[in-house]
Amino acid sequence: MNAENFSNILEQPDELVTVNTGKVLFSNQIFEIRLDYRLRPPWMVLDNSKRFIYISKLFQPVKGDVLAWLCKDGRKYPAVVRQSGKIIFNFDIEQTITRILREQYLAKKRPLMSRLPFHHHRFPASVRVWVLKTLNKLKQGKVVFPSWPADNSVDLLRFMFMQAFQLVSKEQLKKTKKWPLDVKSIVCLSHDVDTIDAARNIEKVAFIEEEFNLKSTWFITGNKLSQSKKTLNYLHDNGNEIALHGHNHDFKLPFLKIEEIEQRLKIYRVYMEDYNMTGFRSPGMLRTTELLKVLATYFRYDSTFVDTERYSFTTPGEGCCTVFPFNVGPLLEIPVTLPMDISLAVAGLSEQQMLELWLRKIRLIKQIGGVAVLNTHTDSHLSAQPSMLKIYQKLLDTISQDKSLKVATLNKVAGYWKRRDED
């Protein structure tokens, strides 16, 4: 039996693992979760910090040997119990996972920056960063879910479910091999290029990657494609991936009507064909149901979701809480799982602190077996400044020496995932 097919397990005639469907006590709430060692994953850090999680529905608990607790307002509720040789989840685990992946735990609002009558790049970069820092100081301590810089709630719930099944079943779950050879985890290097300044700095970053013989994915705004053709041809001819980063980075694309979104994308159909574009990332990491629906007809994958975000103009307090690809309808989503350079700059981290955080998170993702997707910006005030280029070189040096990691473009990851689903 496949370890990731919840439905197959829940539909087993012996009902070794079931979901309690009694009276609903809570809907769409954030709880602190506490796990017994029998359900705790090896990568879960044991410290005094609290771990919070979104739960779509918590039912009137069935009693038994408690394997997990959900805590709220000073009260504890049995979340998972063992009773008479069976495991009972007192919350809807499938619906919870789906809603977290789709970010349905929060009420999304269209950001003010997408409503400006002029392009937000008219503000100097220093002003944009200052505004972000000021806004985030006001929000500090108000968001407990998703946690940052890591939140693996979906991966935790999946592990709990599989572990619960193994506690009561004689059948060994089949673990799907995700990555080729003996690779434990994949690292994807990606870059967003949305300004003329960023386009001019592409080669500075590309040359560092060439030093380690690594390939990356470059997300270019459509209106910069013709201006950067020589550089993009060089990247493409040397095995790097070129992907689309929207039209002009005005943050309006996701909020247009479907036909208007299609009109913007059709402008770049020739470039899509010339560079074999299979991927997309929305400016500002903004996404809507309408945008994702259109993308599915043009691209193999999207990489707009983040696993967790705290320091962003457009998507603070959001995240899909997984380090694995997942499907949104027919479209494969490969989330950004390492904090972005702009986010770390707003958080006030030094370059050395950024490096240490990236490496620490890569180690965590390797333990889980997921994809470490890095997204940097080649602007002169971000990852193209000399001090950041040195940090990037150190990062790639460390990654390249770890033989249990494989660096691949996002398109290759999409291919690995498709073959995994077909096996």
The count of domains in the chain is 2
Phi, psi of 129 (to 5 degrees): -65, -40
Q: Give the structural domain span for 88.
A: 6-105+146-168
pLDDT in the model for residue 170: 77
* Cα gap 265→348, rounded to integer Å: 36
Q: Are residues 156 and 23 in the same domain?
A: yes
Provide the Cα torsion 344, 346, 352, 356; round to 10°: -30
* Cα gap 118→141, rounded to integer Å: 32
Is 16 within a domain? yes
Pairing mode of beta strands 185-193, 371-377: parallel
Give SS3 for 174.
Answer: strand
Is 339 within a domain? yes
Q: Are residues 202 and 329 in the same domain?
A: yes
pLDDT in the model for residue 134: 66
Q: Are residues 370 and 297 in the same domain?
A: yes
pLDDT in the model for residue 50: 87
Q: Are residues 353 and 413 in the same domain?
A: yes
Is 128 within a domain? no
* Cα gap 175→369, rounded to integer Å: 12
* Residue ranges in the chain whose pLDDT is less than 50: 1-3, 13
Q: Are residues 162 and 191 in the same domain?
A: no
CATH number at residue 277: 3.20.20.370
Bridge partners for 281 per DSSP: none
| Token pair for 99 | 């809603």
Q: Are residues 164 and 206 in the same domain?
A: no
Check the CA dihedral 45-47-52-55 and report its sign. positive
pLDDT in the model for residue 283: 93
Pairing mode of beta strands 371-377, 331-333: unpaired
Q: Are residues 73 and 196 in the same domain?
A: no
Bridge partners for 309 per DSSP: 318
Is 248 within a domain? yes
Q: Are residues 39 and 161 in the same domain?
A: yes
pLDDT in the model for residue 108: 79
pLDDT tens per residue across span 348-364: 999 999 999 999 999 99
pLDDT tens per residue across span 90-128: 999 999 999 999 999 988 788 777 777 766 676 677 776
Q: Are residues 164 and 213 in the same domain?
A: no
pLDDT in the model for residue 137: 64
Is 274 within a domain? yes
